Amino acid sequence: MKVRTSLAAAVLASAILLPSAAPTLAAPPAPRPPGIEKQDTLRWVAPKDLRIGSAVAGGGHHETQAYPDPFTYDQPYRERLAAEFNSVSPENQLKWEFVHPEQDTYRFAEMDAIVQFAQANKQVVRGHTLFWHSQNPEWLEEGDFTKEELRAILKDHIQTVVGRYAGKIQQWDVANEIFNDNGTLRTTDNIWIRELGPDIIADAFRWAHEADPKAKLFFNDYGVEGLNAKSNAYLELIPRLQAQGVPIDGFAIQGHLSTRYGFPGDLRANLQRFDDLGLETAITEIDVRMDVVAGTEPTAAQLAQQASYYQRALEACVAVDECNSFTIWGFTDTYSWVPVFFSGEGEATVMEEDFTRKPAYYALQTTLEQASPGRGNR
């Protein structure tokens, strides 16, 4: 399982043979990985009213690793991304620091390539994210702007980015992680809320809606799996904004879980109370990390616990009417953010580094299969 070094070397070697530019725009569909039947994939068994997705690795922590851009250069990775999923989410490629690195410069090539890939492979795209306290460019965070200027900067950004992909992005995480764990707004570290006040949240949704009236607009956060102060805060905020006519379609739960803690058994009840408000819901970033001891494999018990968390999360979504999208935050441990951010933890995705499927993969496959009276979005 521990093939990080050799795999990185192989990817690096193949990168040398490839052109340095991102794949061309008229991308053909990715071929199916050898040995994998069409019917033996997650997207094939998914119910027609549920998209099964993955983050698309690139940007962020990947830029500090010893491999080239995964989405651009890792062909076996691309084949599995196409074969297994019918929804994709850019992991970092739409975040401010990546897509808007200088005040007057946008960098769209990478996201354009993801959208082309998704279209060629009949996948929908989740846009992530427009309004966040993190991964903002220095020119923005350190800039000396008046309130009017900041407001104009946010509006321009949202309308430029959402407008460019209008009709091509199904769901947007418009506002990401706006609450602290205790349910108070992030009035210190979120530049927009700090400088412009909480009403700017509604404007962000209005501007996104103007730029693409058909896109579904979401709040997205971590630590809101269960019934707690943070999820309560969303339950209070969303209807209040909707009563003012703010275009909000959904509430999304990231789902970064750890086997160190118990499974959030109230996930289904929590999704249901947002569904009861008439909202769509989604699981947008699930992974399940575990303790790792360098040089050893996870135990069967660890893998079984991980599989059960993935399965219970998917079952919770399947059980709720308008939970229409279930996305894992990467599908192979090769590119997972977890070991980079949590020392001593890892193995958080459903496939080993050589794409061997873990018990967690089969748990998802079986759960999707059992949830599928009418299949569709293959």
Task: Report the residue closest to ligand 9MR, judged by CB.
Answer: 60
DSSP conformation letters of 73-123:
H-HHHHHHHHHH-SEEEESSTTSHHHH--BTTB---HHHHHHHHHHHHTT-
Residue 356 makes contact with ligand 9MR by CB under 6 A:
no
Residue 342 makes contact with ligand 9MR by CB under 6 A:
no
Q: Which of residues 238-267 bind ligand 9MR (CB under 6 A)?
A: 254
Residue 232 makes contact with ligand 9MR by CB under 6 A:
no
DSSP state for residue 277 in the 8-state scheme: T
- State the number of binding residues for ligand 9MR (CB under 6 A): 10
Instruction: Return the number of other C-beta atoms located less than 10 Å from residue 320's C-beta.
Output: 21
Output the CA–CA distances (angstroms, integers) from residue 272 to 117, 177, 241, 281, in the order listed.
33, 20, 19, 9
| Nearest-angstrom CA–CA distance, 289 and 295 | 17
Residue 91 makes contact with ligand 9MR by CB under 6 A:
yes
Q: At which residue do the structure tokens 């058909």 appear? A: 214
Is 177 catalytic? The answer is yes
CA neighbor of 314 nearest in space, from 80, 128, 86, 46: 46
Q: Which of residues 276-295 bind ligand 9MR (CB under 6 A)?
A: 285
Residue 61 makes contact with ligand 9MR by CB under 6 A:
yes
Residue 60 makes contact with ligand 9MR by CB under 6 A:
yes
> Rounded to the nearest whole angstrom, what is the least distance from the CB of residue 70 to ligand 9MR in the complex?
11
| Nearest-angstrom CA–CA distance, 305 and 302 | 5
Q: Which of residues 129-188 bind ligand 9MR (CB under 6 A)?
A: 134-135
Q: Which is nearer to ligand 9MR, 211 or 253 (CB)?
A: 253
| Nearest-angstrom CA–CA distance, 11 and 231 | 41
Secondary element (H or E) of residue 305 = helix 300-319
Q: Which is nearer to ligand 9MR, 342 or 362 (CB)?
A: 342
> Rounded to the nearest whole angstrom, what is the least distance from the CB of residue 99 to ligand 9MR in the complex?
13
Judge contact between 251 and 231, C-beta under 8 A: no
List 91, 97, 285, 353, catalytic entry: 285
Q: Which is nearer to ligand 9MR, 56 or 158 (CB)?
A: 56
Point out which residues bind ligand 9MR (CB under 6 A): 60-61, 91-92, 134-135, 222, 254, 285, 337
Active site residues: 177, 285
